[in-house]
Amino acid sequence: MTDPDRSYCGPLERVDECCYRIPRSYKPGMRVDGLVFADERLLPHVRSDRAAEQVANVAFLPGIQAASLAMPDIHWGYGFCIGGVCATDPAAGGVVSPGGVGYDINCGVRLVRTSLALADVQPVIVQLVNQLMRDVPVGVGQGGRHVFAPAELRDLMRDGVDYLVRRGLATEDDRACTEAEGRLADARPELVSERALARGQDQCGTVGAGNHFIEVQVVDRVEDERAAAAFGLQHDQICVLIHSGSRGLGYQVCDDALRALRDAPTKYGIQLPDRQLVCAPVESPEGDHYLGAMRAAANYAFCNRQLLMWQVRKVFERVLGRPWEALGMHLLYDVAHNIAKLEEHDVDGTRTTVCVHRKGATRSFPAGHPDVPERYRATGQPVIIPGDMGRASWVLAGGPRALERSFGTTCHGAGRCLSRTAATRAARGRDIRAELEHGGVVARSRSRDGLAEEQPEAYKDVDMVVDVVHRAGLSTRVARLRPLGVIKG
């Protein structure tokens, strides 16, 4: 049954088979239309919560360009929906909003290739997953092996993965295969609070809880041979997917910013339909402060995933008895899906620097874009889309229409369709771990409810989500990966 207080009953006008419009006329105060990428199959999900209302609310933001956008994995978030994209023009009074990035600044994923085949790993998958669970900190309250003093943390936040290269915990190749080469310029670690530093000092190199995980996967379908070859992927190949973000440090940076910006809308005369959209002009002391601290937290997140990968490599070395280099454990790519960046885009035919907010959305730059690493420039950047722990994840390539339609952006995952409590209810009387094992997935979780809350049925079918972004030209299918083993918080 649809609850009118918990669902979206407003307009969704069909633009084409993969896109629906919330017209600017829906609410007085909207500066642009809302555009939701979805098809008929996903529309009931889009209407099932208030996320589309949030797409309309984001259209109120000063300086917003083109449209308030949402990807097909859209669901209800704070202020901005998850799957939301918004580009603002600083020169036109455009704002930056912490709600457009989210609490987990630079939450993202990285995919590690190996030279192993399914037959190499299948016999040791239980041992491998158990060893990952022992050696990689996962779950709430778990501190990491790498503890950084405040001065070291500031260097790490300023220099990103470069700092870990200097410390011998990353290679030049790792750095080159990370979005923004693992370092957002103009990070301002000095603006990160003492409380954030305290939360972050022992968490770099930890998975965390919630929907974060490390998953051993196998390539079960290649859809684009040319792109797969460029990405170093082939059928039957083992990969490892790592999903985490900036941990407590990033959450605190967001919390600090929301508090510091409470009075900014009044100060700058900004009318907002939802206080969670609190924001300040990019070109203001408040906007500058948030962006500086946010970039520092983003660099921390790149380092977190790098240290997680470093530990995963050690686990594989231990279980398989060969150095990680001999196992071909090279980083394919690392992508952020909660971030705000200043990027150049064509807006109404004019090259414009805009502040692109991606909240639960992934950069998807196409072939030829200068920000795509040279090794991938002929195919478009790798886009990594985690699905759920029972079905599949995807590797896509930056799509030909992404720049014109979505400021170079695509989806970030399957998107939840069951709340945590509903998923736990649905799991009562069942053994989710045994069900996954029966389906060929060895799953380990630190917490009592972790597997229940994150069970496959809690998520939309990622194949369906990926189908929409593929047909919309936002990103194109390269390879599908099936899970073999997963550790979660």
Partner 1 sequence: MHEVFEHTADLGLRVEAPSLELLLAEAGAGLFEILAGDMHQIRCRDERTFDVPGTDPEWLLLDWTTELLAAFTVDRMLFREFAVSVHPAGLCGTARGEPYDPAIHTLAHEIKAVTQHELDVRRTATGWEATLIVDI
Q: Which of residues 435-454 bind partner 1 (CB under 8 A)?
A: 447-449
* Residue 289 a catalytic site member: no
Site pattern 85..114 for partner 1 (x: CB under 8 A): ------------------xx----------
Residue 34 vs 450, nearer CB to partner 1 = 450
Among 254, 395, 436, 451, binds partner 1 (CB under 8 A): 254
Phi first, then psi: what are they for 243, rounded to 5°? Answer: -125, 110
Residue 4 CB burial class (10 angstroms; 0-12, 13-18, ≥19):
exposed
Asked if residue 258 binds partner 1 (CB under 8 A), the reply is yes
Do 68 and 59 form a contact (C-beta atoms < 8 A)? yes
H helices within 201-274, ranges in order? 225-231, 247-260, 264-267
Give residue 341's Cα distance to chain centre.
14
> Per DSSP, which regions of 57-208 are E strands?
67-75, 82-88, 95-96, 108-117
Closest separation in Å from C-beta 489 to partner 1: 6
Asked if residue 310 binds partner 1 (CB under 8 A), the reply is no
Site pattern 146..185 for partner 1 (x: CB under 8 A): ----------------------------------------
Q: Which of residues 125-144 bind partner 1 (CB under 8 A)?
A: 139-141
Give residue 5's Cα distance to chain centre.
28
Do 136 and 216 form a contact (C-beta atoms < 8 A)? no
Name the active-site residue from 212, 337, 345, 412: 412
- CA dist 195 and 216 (Å) reads 34
Burial state string for 376-404 with b = 16 or more CB within 10 A and e = fewer than 16? bbebbbbbbbbbbbbbbbbbbbbbbebbe
Asked if residue 84 binds partner 1 (CB under 8 A), the reply is no
Asked if residue 237 binds partner 1 (CB under 8 A), the reply is no
Q: Are strands 67-75 and 33-37 parallel, antiparallel or unpaired?
A: parallel
> Per DSSP, which regions of 118-263 are E strands?
213-222, 237-244
Asked if residue 276 binds partner 1 (CB under 8 A), the reply is yes
CB neighbours (10 Å) of residue 47?
17
Which helix (DSSP H) or strand (DSSP E) does residue 129 occupy? helix 125-135
Residue 27 vs 420, nearer CB to partner 1 = 420
Among 182, 248, 281, 287, binds partner 1 (CB under 8 A): 248
Tell me the site size for partner 1, rule CB under 8 A. 39
CB neighbours (10 Å) of residue 345?
18
Q: Which stretch binds partner 1 (CB under 8 A): 58-66, 126-134, 322-330, 416-424?
A: 416-424
Among 49, 53, 73, 179, binds partner 1 (CB under 8 A): 49
Asked if residue 281 binds partner 1 (CB under 8 A), the reply is no
Identify the CA nearest to 481 among candidates 122, 233, 209.
233
Closest separation in Å from C-beta 360 to partner 1: 10
Q: Which of residues 61-80 bind partner 1 (CB under 8 A)?
A: 75-79
Do 323 and 351 form a contact (C-beta atoms < 8 A)? no
Asked if residue 422 binds partner 1 (CB under 8 A), the reply is yes
- By CB under 8 A, name the binding residues for partner 1: 49, 75-79, 82, 103-104, 139-141, 195, 198-199, 208-211, 248, 251-252, 254-255, 258-259, 262, 275-276, 278, 416, 419-422, 447-449, 489
Residues that are catalytic: 412
